Amino acid sequence: MKSGLFKKVLSLICVCAFVGSIAAAKDKEKKQPGGQVVDSGSFGVFSSGTRVATETFSIEQSATGSRISSQFKSSQGEQVADQTSEIVLTPSTELRSYEWKETAPEKMTASVAPNDAFLVETFTNGSDNKTHDQNFLLPASTTILDDYFFVHREILAWKYLASACKQNAGAPNCPLHQKVQFGALNPHARTSMSVAIEFAGRDKVSIRGSQVELSKFILSSDMGDWAFWLDDHFKLVRLLNDGGTEVVRD
């Protein structure tokens, strides 16, 4: 990786701080002075070439930290899905809280927060609406990779770039072809897992009829594999899983 591109990676990583935290106090949940949106937009989700859902997202950073907010909506005939999520991380990129809510087709909620050596998920389901707790023996550094929220993969990609690119005696060292393992939690499925990312080189991809050259990566896990592509600003542009589902930035 060239020095200029390496500096871009470090700059983006520092700006996002891997999406650091907001203060827990309610009065500090408001947008902080000097806050900025690091990335925002929407992803279209396609199955067999037909758009079936949309995820709208925002990654915001303030002087005290940042948050990743997302909404997933799908409407296929009478089948409607509506979910929202929000990740809050500390400045050292550890999890402070995660909130998930579904209003359709059922009303369900889930939240995750660290408690000593555990991550504790508190959830309700549509059948009895009772509150349940489930503990995971996982550190706060665990990555949240929930179903239907593809911006979570962008955050993991930035985390990969941060771990793969090191500054050694003032010189950049980015052996991106190495595979890096991460611990992850899927709160929607209430499942922990190990995932791995590796750089697969530069690739020409057709996006809305235009050929663009992007950086390709492979995200692999026991739950299935995803190929994903980042542009030169390290923003997620496209994902494709081994089942044929395609996700494209609008």
pLDDT tens per residue, range 101-153: 999 998 999 999 999 999 999 999 876 778 999 999 999 999 999 999 999 99
What is the mean predicted confidence (pLDDT) over 177-202? 92
What is the mean predicted confidence (pLDDT) over 62-79? 85
The predicted pLDDT at position 35 comes to: 66
The predicted pLDDT at position 25 comes to: 30
Q: pLDDT: is 55 or 21 the higher one?
A: 55
Q: For residue 175, is pLDDT > 90?
A: no
Share of the chain above pLDDT 90, in %: 56
Q: For residue 24, is pLDDT > 80?
A: no
User: 54: burial class by Cβ within 10 Å (0-12, 13-18, 19+)?
Assistant: middle
Confidence of residue 79 (pLDDT cuts 50, 70, 90): confident
Query: 151: part of which helix (H) or strand (E)?
Result: helix 151-164
Dump strand ranges (E) for 11-145: 36-47, 50-62, 65-76, 79-89, 95-104, 108-115, 118-124, 131-136, 143-144
d(CA 98, CA 174): 31
Q: pLDDT: is 55 or 180 the higher one?
A: 55
The predicted pLDDT at position 172 comes to: 44
The predicted pLDDT at position 174 comes to: 61
Model's pTM, two decimal places? 0.83
Confidence of residue 5 (pLDDT cuts 50, 70, 90): very low
Confidence of residue 9 (pLDDT cuts 50, 70, 90): very low
